[in-house]
Amino acid sequence: MKRVLLFLFAIILIPFFTLEVKSQNLIYESGGVLQPQQAVYNVTHYDLNLTVNPADSTVSGYVGITFEMTGPSNEIELALDPGMMVEKVKIAGNEESDLHFKHGDEGKALRVYFTETLQIRTEKTIEVHYSGKPKVANNPPWDGGMVWDRTPSGDPWVGVATQTDGAWIWWPNKDHPSDKADSVSINLTMPDDLVVASNGRFKGETDHGDGWKTWHWFVSTPINTYNITLNAAPYETIEDTYTSTAGDEIDIIFWILPEYMEQGKELFPQFAEQLRFMEEVAGPYPFRADKYGVAHAPYLGMEHQTLIAYGANFQNDNLFGQNAGFDDLHQHELAHEWWGNLVSAWDWRDFWIHEGIGTYMQPLYAEHLGGEESYREMMDFLRTRITSQTEVAPRRSMSSLEISGGGRGGDVYFKGAWVMHTLRYLVGDEDFFTIIRRFAYPDPELEKRTDGSAVRFATTDDLLHLAEDISGMELDWFFELYLRQPQLPFLREEIRGGELHLRWDVPEGYSFELPVEIEVNGERERVDMDGGSAVLSIPDGADVRADPDHWILKEMR
């Protein structure tokens, strides 16, 4: 009898042990190497029809996925947390068309099998019906997932943040940054005493008369899966209309908790002011057909397209504490509407385009408001955060976790910003700001469009070639040293025989020819470093300083 009981006990434990192992081995990340059954199709539209219940922290419903085949296959790979229960997968509009699927045996992979080989250019719409409790964000937005919180008055306060972890935490999708849906319908059913904000344009609401209401949103432009979001609370709104530099009128809407209305009204004018600056630097706001929205969130912030999450306590200088006099958290998330949402990395290896250029917009705005001194103070602070432990823009495919983890994670932001600063020093302001504008909108005609056709993917090499075309310089050496390997250049200086000898020390196999500003007895000149070195005649006993303003990204010994 004891043997039988032990055997039954072991059998009972096996499922729990298996689930625990699976949970322990599950890696919450996005992207990485594009798998063959991901590469055979391209999503054109998502249709989210979800009930989100704050009372038990569940999500249930179905997601319609419209796609076009790019290669022949009878199988596609989606992604969904194995902790969620998939009830069925079927062809949309056909109740008798249940498809075979496999979920949970291979981590996040949700494999869907068709009864025939789908040919190239075949279009299909399937529905994935599912339910469950999504992963809860322990430290949003860095450790992502669903955010279930309470307002000061005790009401539900719901959000989501999944950039580094992947949107598959809470809804099924093709988990790769190289595939943006052309449009998304978002229909969210929640308790009717809440206000539910999401991406795109509001299309109305349906009151079910039973304490629940469905909020309908539609995104008319391409969007990455991690940008699809919801914010729910008993919000009130602050609204205004903004006229873009392109002449279009944009709705600016701030969803805010009633308890913070006065602070919100004080902050609100900064939204339009910062929008104007970004438009003047990088071109018109890309999503003028929908809106510019900000949602008061129970975590610091996130750049969800057309609805950024804001939780920075309505204070200026939240991120860097440099007394620059503006809300830099909002400005950072706003910058991502260009760097990340308009111009996107199709592989996470080029994530610095989002974060490095996005971060550089804060010192640029500080300079706009407070001049060079304010700019310099913020750049000096960013310099203290650089580690240079590994390359910023690796050439191999990367997942979101790989590119954001360890020393690389901070350098993606701060070294990336300093690379942009040093590029500005090299090519001069006129060419640099042309590079910024044309990297956002390669063709000025694209600045006029509101249909989403300006949204595009880009790589580090795209920026390199653009900078070369505009500046007329050969810049391989600059991008290779700063972005493709970790070590910073070191400027070696030596005075002998009435001459100043300068040489860039760089890793073997690399060249570096960045000009250096030299100050001799208070007089400055820019010295070319052809071949990585230069010799300059100086008076005996002269006071000599190389790079006197520490304006160049280099190793400090």
Confidence of residue 141 (pLDDT cuts 50, 70, 90): very high
Whole-angstrom distance, CA of residue 525 vs CA of residue 315: 41
Answer yes or no: is pLDDT of 401 > 50.
Answer: yes
Answer yes or no: is pLDDT of 557 > 50.
Answer: yes
Is residue 243 domain-resident? no
Q: Which of 185, 201, 225 is the last residue of a domain?
A: 225
If asked whether residues 506 and 442 sit together in one domain, one would say no
Dihedral sign for Cα atoms in the order 368, 372, 377, 379: positive
If asked whether residues 516 and 461 sit together in one domain, one would say no
| Domain with 446 in it | 343-483
Name the phi and psi angles at 296, rounded to 5: -60, 120
Is residue 535 domain-resident? yes
Q: Which pLDDT value is given to residue 407?
A: 80
Q: Which pLDDT value is given to residue 174?
A: 98
Q: Which pLDDT value is given to residue 25?
A: 74
Whole-angstrom distance, CA of residue 407 vs CA of residue 403: 9
Q: Which of 483, 504, 519 is the last residue of a domain?
A: 483
The average pLDDT across 83-88 equals 97
Whole-angstrom distance, CA of residue 506 vs CA of residue 439: 29
Domains identified in the chain, total number: 3
3-state DSSP call for residue 339? strand
Q: Which pLDDT value is given to residue 19?
A: 35
The pair of structure tokens assigned to 126 is 């399937």
Q: Give me the CATH number covering residue 386.
A: 1.10.390.10
Whole-angstrom distance, CA of residue 411 vs CA of residue 488: 12
Q: Which pLDDT value is given to residue 255?
A: 98
Mean pLDDT, the chain, integer: 94
Answer yes or no: is pLDDT of 394 > 90.
Answer: yes
Q: Which pLDDT value is given to residue 21?
A: 34
Confidence of residue 5 (pLDDT cuts 50, 70, 90): very low
Whole-angstrom distance, CA of residue 313 vs CA of residue 300: 9
Confidence of residue 485 (pLDDT cuts 50, 70, 90): very high
Q: How far is CA 435 from the centre of its chain?
A: 21
If asked whether residues 526 and 460 sit together in one domain, one would say no
Cis amide bond preceding 82, omega within 30? no
The average pLDDT across 470-495 equals 97
Confidence of residue 96 (pLDDT cuts 50, 70, 90): confident
The average pLDDT across 262-280 equals 98
- Judged on CB neighbours under 10 Å (0-12, 13-18, 19+), 312 is buried
If asked whether residues 119 and 220 sit together in one domain, one would say yes
Q: Which pLDDT value is given to residue 22?
A: 40
Is residue 291 domain-resident? no
Q: Are 141 and 299 in contact (CB under 8 A)?
A: yes
If asked whether residues 528 and 416 sit together in one domain, one would say no
**Measured distance between the N- and C-terminal CA atoms of the chain, rounded to whole angstroms:** 74
Per DSSP, 436 falls in state: H
Please indicate whether residue 252 or residue 105 has the higher confidence score (pLDDT).
252
Q: Which pLDDT value is given to residue 17?
A: 32
The average pLDDT across 102-109 equals 88
The pair of structure tokens assigned to 239 is 């609204």
Q: How far is CA 217 from the centre of its chain?
A: 21
Is residue 495 domain-resident? yes
3-state DSSP call for residue 435? helix
Q: Are 173 and 167 in contact (CB under 8 A)?
A: yes
Look at the block and give the residue holding tokens 């009717």. Answer: 192
Give tens-digit pLDDT for 23-77. Answer: 447 999 999 999 999 999 999 999 999 999 999 999 999 999 999 999 999 999 9
Q: Which pLDDT value is given to residue 7?
A: 30
What is the helix (H) or strand (E) element at residue 405, kind and residue range? none
Answer yes or no: is pLDDT of 495 > 60.
Answer: yes
Is residue 269 domain-resident? no
If asked whether residues 202 and 134 sit together in one domain, one would say yes
Answer yes or no: is pLDDT of 331 > 80.
Answer: yes
If asked whether residues 49 and 82 sit together in one domain, one would say yes
If asked whether residues 47 and 177 sit together in one domain, one would say yes
Per DSSP, 471 falls in state: H
If asked whether residues 126 and 209 sit together in one domain, one would say yes
CA 148-151-156 angle, to 5 degrees, is 45
3-state DSSP call for residue 325? coil
If asked whether residues 447 and 515 sit together in one domain, one would say no
Is residue 106 domain-resident? yes
The average pLDDT across 440-462 equals 97
Confidence of residue 405 (pLDDT cuts 50, 70, 90): confident
Is residue 516 domain-resident? yes
CA 414-420-426 angle, to 5 degrees, is 135
Confidence of residue 9 (pLDDT cuts 50, 70, 90): very low
Nearest to 327 by CA among 260, 274, 382, 275: 274
Per DSSP, 98 falls in state: B
If asked whether residues 494 and 477 sit together in one domain, one would say no
Q: Are 219 and 183 in contact (CB under 8 A)?
A: yes
**What residues contact residue 56 under an 8 Å CB cut-off, 6+ apart?**
133
Q: Which pLDDT value is given to residue 105?
A: 76
Q: Which of 435, 458, 483 is the last residue of a domain?
A: 483
The pair of structure tokens assigned to 266 is 């004080």
Spell out the alpha helix ranges (H) of 291-428.
Answer: 328-335, 352-383, 400-404, 406-427
Give tens-digit pLDDT for 335-391. Answer: 999 999 999 999 999 999 999 999 999 999 999 999 999 999 999 999 999 999 999
Q: Give me the CATH number covering residue 194.
A: 2.60.40.1730
Q: Which pLDDT value is given to residue 406?
A: 80
Q: Are 419 and 482 in contact (CB under 8 A)?
A: yes
Number of H helices, E strands in the chain: 10, 27
Q: Which pLDDT value is given to residue 8?
A: 31
Q: Are 22 and 82 in contact (CB under 8 A)?
A: yes
Name the phi and psi angles at 228, rounded to 5: -75, 130
If asked whether residues 109 and 206 sit together in one domain, one would say yes
Give tens-digit pLDDT for 499-517. Answer: 999 999 999 999 999 999 9
Q: Which pLDDT value is given to residue 14?
A: 31
3-state DSSP call for residue 500? strand
Is residue 287 domain-resident? no
Beta pairing class for 307-310 and 292-296: parallel
